[in-house]
Amino acid sequence: MSRVMPQRLRTYFTKLINGLILLLAVGLLSACDPSPTKFIGSDITGTNLGENWTMPDTSGVMRDAKSYPKQLQLVFFGFTQCPDICPAALSEVSEALRLVGQDAENVQVLMITVDPERDNPTVLSSYLAAFSPDFKGLVGSPQQLNQTASSFKAFYAKSPLPGGNYTMDHSTSFYLLDQDGKPRVLLSHQAGAAAIAHDIKVLLN
């Protein structure tokens, strides 16, 4: 007997397939480049990932991919009640910037909350301050979040918990955008501080 797949699963598998297509495209682009840049992460140059989005930061200022013209952007999707992956990932980013040294001032870390229902600007800014006073948070409406996640081909979905609470499933990669707001590198959240620092240094030099 056939069963109708729940909407959340259909959305998940659709975005998973899109992600696999993206990775294949990245591989083809790298293969066609006679002198690829030596990133540890995946080279996403030319993919248009993360170029079309607009969200307010925790101060209410509208931001987009071109809001930080003199800085690299390291973008991460997460939420403040994330029990393990988000705090571990942000700690790795903090360590990576320490390894980068003085040039870390040329990198802007942006965390986009996938849980705007609970992560209001005050909550998000306080959370990020525990990792670095320079990290900035972006929190918008559900529509703004959907547009932004679609631009990055990032996945997020509410997952119910016993007792009426919920958690969030979400993409966990780091996106590195250059000073022109163009996508350059996609890194796993498990890449480690040394790998993140390496690719930041490549982009800054």
- C-alpha 180/C-alpha 121 separation (Å) is 26
Q: Which residue has the higher pLDDT, 111 or 13?
A: 111
Name the pLDDT band for 2 (thresholds 50, 70, 90): very low
142 belongs to a structural domain: yes
pLDDT digits (tens, 9 = 90+) for 54-76: 999 999 999 999 999 999 999 99
83 belongs to a structural domain: yes
| Mean pLDDT value across the chain | 88
How many structural domains comprise the chain? Answer: 1
Q: Are 89 and 189 in contact (CB under 8 A)?
A: yes
pLDDT at residue 32 is higher than 60: no
pLDDT at residue 16 is higher than 80: no
Look-up of token digits 């979400």: 170
Those residues whose C-beta lies under 8 Å from the C-beta of residue 81, and which sit 6 or more positions away, are 115, 118, 167, 168
At residue 159, the pLDDT reads 96
Q: What are phi and psi of 180, to 5 degrees?
A: -95, 5
Three-class secondary structure of residue 130 per DSSP = coil
Provide the CATH number for the domain around residue 99: 3.40.30.10
158 belongs to a structural domain: yes
Q: Where are the beta strands (DSSP E) in the chain?
A: 42-43, 54-56, 62-64, 72-78, 107-113, 136-138, 156-160, 166-170, 174-177, 183-187
pLDDT digits (tens, 9 = 90+) for 91-144: 999 999 999 999 999 999 999 999 999 999 999 999 999 999 999 999 999 999
2 belongs to a structural domain: no
Name the pLDDT band for 14 (thresholds 50, 70, 90): very low
156 belongs to a structural domain: yes
State which residues form the domain around 180.
7-204
184 belongs to a structural domain: yes
At residue 54, the pLDDT reads 96
1 belongs to a structural domain: no
Q: What is the DSSP letter of 49?
A: T
pTM: 0.82
159 belongs to a structural domain: yes
At residue 6, the pLDDT reads 52
Three-class secondary structure of residue 32 per DSSP = helix
